[in-house]
Amino acid sequence: MSELIPSLAELHALGAAQQPTYPDPAAVESVVGKLRRRPPLVFAGECDDLRGRVAEVAAGRSFLLQGGDCAETFETVTAANIRNKLRVLLSMAVVLTYAAQLPVLKVGRIAGQYAKPRSRDAEIRNGVSLPAYRGDAVNALGFTQAERIPDPRRLLEVYNHSAATLNLLRAFVTGGYADLRAMHTWNADFVHNSNVESRYEELSDEIGRALAFMVACGVDNEAFRTVDFYSSHEALLLEYEHSLTRTDSRTQTPYNTSAHLVWIGERTRQLDGAHVEYLRHLRNPIGIKLGPNVTGDEAAALMDKLDPDHEPGRLTVITRMGADRIRDALPPVIEAVEQTGRKVAWVCDPMHGNTFETATGYKTRAFSQVADEVNGFFDVHEELGSWPGGVHVELTGDDVTECVGGVDELDEADLANRYETACDPRLNRNQSLELAFLVADRLTSGRIRRGAVEPEFHLEDFR
């Protein structure tokens, strides 16, 4: 291990937040030893490429789409599940690219998103108190003592499942599945019964014609065959993240090789805490989540620590303020960070500030509030002249019923039909596409206002 990175013991001495209490320290040590010998899941050079692409986002020349499950689970690592998540992200990315005429940087919350911070250590049901579920990386969802005891061997399973997921993703994105000319087939097994669907189909037809035109003109069609796709997760469990940190032989600097981008959560971003201390040493591009109570000074102090060199692409700031708070809470944060002289990638997570519980006990989010936070994000950035660089969403490619509202007008009674998340409620496929159209509209109108693109040609204007 590089001397540049603190040891696990040094990090724990800082009082790391949100860590499981393992009953058997020897078992933890054994797992850490095994993980340290495992091959990296990503390469340093890929992380460097991603840093360059995040810099493009920060500079206002690209848009970041980051999405996936709140919590991946071992059981749902299947070909169909991975393919469905990938294709909803690709579909959203195409909508954004085509409608807003901008390159879209695609990053999954995938291949490592297995650990969850929790607001309470214990979960109480009918008077029985057990350790809270902290993600498959830590314990199991079932409500029994045996399932809830943290088991470090699960970290090896995280590695194995992440490797399998990443392997399939790499095959999909380079092996022809992501070919733009196959965009229609990404939709094939969905019922086309909504106006989001028809809008998507219209767009695919239009893109199909544009591609055929370009190919006829002799444009190299290889470019349509593959896409770049990166992995990311919250760097929460120190044992896992630290064990997969490797010193790059070219630069002698440490990279977290379990994902291209890792982020610090709202609950573990203490300035002198273990997570900030660990992540500040990494060369990966890193994300930081900021909730509505962060002050401008705190945000600036975090940036100074995590990005002392003002390196383009180093930082992605993911704000999750809540629809009610964003218009007040975001401007001082942007102003304080801009005053430090940095250009960061500003990304909106419209999910985590908008969660509520229904009378029947389902954790849900309303599509209208998600949309409202996204609109607030664009309003604030347009007002301040900063670039609204991306969105970060919890979604799935399946037709689950976890968030209410959206084009299918799901109501609270519908939640029971297909509520499958292991943690927070995700947008289903139609809701995700609907969000992509909303974002595309905001991007297009913002760019027209800034003079970056010409308005579309409307025949009516000439009648």
User: Which stretch of DSSP H or E encloses residue 65?
Assistant: strand 63-68
User: Exposed (0-12), middle (13-18) or buried (19+): which is 23, by Cβ within 10 Å?
Assistant: exposed
Rounded Cα distance, 233 and 326, in Å: 24
- For Co ion, the closer of residues 248 and 424 by Cβ is 424
Query: What minimum distance in Å lies between the beta carbon of 112 and ligand PEP?
Result: 13
CB 399 within 8 A of CB 428: yes
Q: Does 265 bind ligand PEP (CB under 6 A)?
A: yes
Q: Which stretch binds ligand PEP (CB under 6 A): 77-85, 201-209, 249-257, 262-270?
A: 262-270
For residues 54-93, which are near Co ion according to CB under 5 A? 70
By Cβ distance, which residue is nearest to ligand PEP?
265
- DSSP structural state of residue 462: G
CB 108 within 8 A of CB 42: no
- For ligand PEP, the closer of residues 44 and 423 by Cβ is 423
- For ligand PEP, the closer of residues 40 and 117 by Cβ is 117
Query: What minimum distance in Å lies between the beta carbon of 352 and Co ion?
Result: 6
Task: Answer with the entry of Co ion, ligand PEP, none that 426 interacts with (C-beta below 5 to 8 A by kind).
Answer: none
CB 224 within 8 A of CB 183: no
Residue 367's SS3 state is helix
- For ligand PEP, the closer of residues 103 and 117 by Cβ is 117
- For ligand PEP, the closer of residues 239 and 424 by Cβ is 424
Q: Which stretch binds ligand PEP (CB under 6 A): 205-213, 265-273, 276-284, 334-342?
A: 265-273
Q: Which residues contact 378 (CB under 8 A, 6 or more apart)?
A: 388, 442, 446
Q: Does 352 bind ligand PEP (CB under 6 A)?
A: yes
- Pick one of 70, 88, 93, 286: the residue that binds ligand PEP (CB under 6 A): 70
- For ligand PEP, the closer of residues 266 and 373 by Cβ is 266
Rounded Cα distance, 268 and 18, in Å: 7
Count of residues near ligand PEP by CB under 6 A? 10
- For ligand PEP, the closer of residues 246 and 352 by Cβ is 352
- For Co ion, the closer of residues 60 and 353 by Cβ is 353
Chain centroid, CA 460 distance in Å? 40
Among the listed residues 347, 354, 390, the one whose alpha carbon sits nearest the alpha carbon of residue 371: 354
Q: Which stretch binds ligand PEP (CB under 6 A): 28-36, 79-87, 178-186, 263-271?
A: 263-271
Q: Does 266 bind ligand PEP (CB under 6 A)?
A: yes
Query: What minimum distance in Å lies between the beta carbon of 236 and Co ion?
Result: 12
Q: Does 320 bind ligand PEP (CB under 6 A)?
A: yes
Query: What minimum distance in Å lies between the beta carbon of 400 and ligand PEP?
Result: 16
Q: Does 350 bind ligand PEP (CB under 6 A)?
A: no
Measured N-to-C along each axis, helices 79-100 and 429-449 cross at an angle, to the nearest 10 degrees, of 20
Query: What minimum distance in Å lies between the beta carbon of 263 and ligand PEP?
Result: 8
Interface map 82-121 toward ligand PEP (x if CB under 6 A):
-----------------------------------x----
CB 352 within 8 A of CB 424: yes
Q: Does 60 bind ligand PEP (CB under 6 A)?
A: no
- For ligand PEP, the closer of residues 267 and 429 by Cβ is 267
Q: Does 402 bind Co ion (CB under 5 A)?
A: no
Q: Which residues contact 138 (CB under 8 A, 6 or more apart)?
A: 20, 115, 150, 151, 154, 237
Chain centroid, CA 57 distance in Å? 15
- Pick one of 289, 343, 426, 429: the residue that binds ligand PEP (CB under 6 A): 289
Query: What minimum distance in Å lies between the beta carbon of 109 and ligand PEP?
Result: 7
- For Co ion, the closer of residues 266 and 277 by Cβ is 266
What are the C-alpha distances in Å from 165 to residues 197, 234, 251, 258? 28, 17, 28, 12
- Pick one of 424, 425, 431, 438: the residue that binds Co ion (CB under 5 A): 424
- Phi/psi region, residue 361 (left: phi>0; alpha: psi -120 to 50; beta: rest), is left
Unique residue bearing structure tokens 């695609």: 106
**CA dihedral in degrees (428, 432, 435, 440; nearest 10)?**
-170
What does the DSSP assignment read for 35-46?
HHHSPPSS-HHH
427: amino acid identity, one letter: L
CB 104 within 8 A of CB 65: yes
Interface map 32-51 toward ligand PEP (x if CB under 6 A):
--------------------
Q: Which residues contact 402 (CB under 8 A, 6 or more apart)?
A: 362, 364, 365, 415, 418, 419, 420, 421, 425, 426, 427, 428
Query: What minimum distance in Å lies between the beta carbon of 146 and ligand PEP?
Result: 26
Q: For binding to Co ion (CB under 5 A), which residues are involved?
A: 70, 424
Q: For binding to ligand PEP (CB under 6 A), which residues are involved?
A: 70, 117, 234, 265-267, 289, 320, 352, 424
